Amino acid sequence: MSGFSGGGKVQMRRIYTIVEAVKGGGYPNCRSLADRLEVTQKTIQRDVNFIRDQLELPLEYNKGMHGYEFTSDVTNFPVFEAQVEDLAAMFLARHAMKSVKGTKLAEALKPAFERLTRQLDGQVNMNWASMDQVFTVKEAGVVDADLTLFGKLAEAVLNQHEVSFSYRKLGDKKSIKRRLRPYHVGEIDGGWYVVGHDNMRDGLRTFAIQRIKGLNVLKTTFERPADFQIGQHLGGSIGVWDHNEAAPEEIVVVVTGWMARIVQERLWHPTQTTRALDDHGEKVELRMQLGNLEEAKYLILSWGRDALVVKPKKLRDAVKKEAAAVVRAYRK
């Protein structure tokens, strides 16, 4: 049985709709399907031919009922033919799903993923269990994202509708009402976030979904800027910290010991460069261009005494002040 191998010129979404409509009974015909999908009857006829000839599904026209039907049960609707690359992608997707294990989002994703993996059975000479033995991915735990909230935000992003909600930032005692033009929803560093234009602040901001309360999708629409790129927005930071469009500053840190070797192996930011300061790779100079120094402070503190900030001075002072506060806390 043939399957989608890139989809060709036939839109998968339309094919799925036609297959489900026929499976549901009612004997849909080209006219009703064309009206439903808002395409021409010729387009539907081409789709029907593709379903019958390429996917080899038992689709026939019932003259008595004036519509299409399946002449035998259709239980496994082919999605694609598995290649080696497909296996690798599916494996990584499977492990990516593990990062939301135990959350409501995972409960919704699991059935869909299981349907996809069933399509691979019998097409390749390898099973998931054996792959798990030779290839693993370790993920940090993530915060549960309420599925209804996530869905409403995703819909607002797709339909370009403004949203309003109450939001309490970390460290704040009270929630503040916000109004947002949501541009992007995604999982970043183990948490779910929405990025968009904050009307109150008149600029791009990032909000943790789990701290959003009382979300309302408004009727007011907007146009997403053509030049908006999520990578550019986060480009001035290591994770999801807002840099408030501040000009990036160069930070220079000298790292020694075992941490120096790790710094040469890891990439925290696209602008990152390293330079060995000795012949053994145990003293390294790290440079990055960042718009938010707060997250840099906590990253450097996590390296302990093996990291020394060279510049900027305000980052050096901030790390020094925080380290002194930690010492005072342990002296109590």
Could you state, in order of their start, the residue ranges of all structural domains in the chain?
Answer: 12-70, 84-134, 147-228, 249-331
The full DSSP string for 125-164 is S--HHHHHHH------------HHHHHHHHHHHHHTEEEE
Determine the Cα–Cα distance for residues 181 and 224; give it in Å rounded to an integer: 8
pLDDT value of residue 227: 78
CB 153 within 8 A of CB 171: no
The full DSSP string for 290-305 is ES-HHHHHHHHHTTGG
Closest CA to 268 of 299, 311, 312, 308: 299
In which element (H, E) is residue 108 found?
Answer: helix 104-120
Contacts 24+ apart (CB under 8 A), 51-55: 51/15, 51/18, 51/19, 54/2, 55/1, 55/2, 55/3, 55/15
The full DSSP string for 161-187 is EEEEEEE--TT-SS-EEEEEEEEEEEE
Closest CA to 272 of 260, 293, 290, 292: 290
249-331 is classed CATH 3.30.70: yes
pLDDT value of residue 123: 43
Q: Which fold has domain 12-70?
A: Arc Repressor Mutant, subunit A (1.10.10)
φ, ψ (nearest 5 deg) of residue 190: 85, 10
Maximum Cα–Cα distance across the chain: 88
The pair of structure tokens assigned to 51 is 């379903």
Domain 147-228, what architecture? Roll (2.30)
Q: Please give the radius of gyration of the chain, using alpha carbons only, rounded to the nearest integer.
A: 26
Do 12-70 and 249-331 agree at the fold level?
A: no
Determine the Cα–Cα distance for residues 101 and 142; give it in Å rounded to an integer: 8
- Taking 50 as the pLDDT cut, the residues of the chain under it are 1-10, 79-85, 121-128, 130-131, 133-138, 140-142, 235-237, 239-243
